Amino acid sequence: MSKRFKPKFNIKKGDLVVIIAGDDKDVSKPRKVLKVLTEENRVVIEGANIVTRHTKPSAQNTTGGLVKKEAPIHISNVKLWDAKEGVATRVRRSREDGKLIRISKKSGATF
């Protein structure tokens, strides 16, 4: 991806999303976004794409061993959750009072 322009995503940290593709696909279960990685076009989602890491004992982690944590998934595999309709939705952007707001395509609710 070009470094010239910063990518613009409709998904932000703290949003509720559903996973529409991949091993953790579940379009009826909304999950929370923990982190958005704009440089890699990826998001980290709570309880999705769990990987196991082998860690050595250190000062912070004295026991070491196996650690399970969430790995990032591509941002194209998630959709915003519309709580008003209870389904996944696409988003359009609009400016109100100089602020950019996100509006649901299905119900017209703002995020």
Q: Is residue 73 part of a domain?
A: yes
Q: Is residue 93 part of a domain?
A: no
Structure tokens at 6: 């910063």
pTM of the model: 0.83
Give residue 76's domain range: 16-83
Non-local (6+) Cβ contacts of 10 within 8 A are 80, 91, 93, 102
Q: What 3-state class would DSSP assign to 76?
A: helix
Q: Tell me, what DSSP letter sits at residue 77? A: G
Q: Tell me, what DSSP letter sits at residue 97? A: T
Q: Is residue 107 part of a domain?
A: no
- Domain count of the fold of the chain: 1
- Per-residue pLDDT band for 2 (boundaries 50, 70, 90) equals low
Q: Is residue 97 part of a domain?
A: no
- Per-residue pLDDT band for 61 (boundaries 50, 70, 90) equals confident
Q: Is residue 78 part of a domain?
A: yes
Between CA 13 and CA 39, with CA 34 as vertex, the angle to 5 degrees is 70
Q: State the Cα–Cα distance between residues 32 and 74, nearest whole angstrom.
A: 15
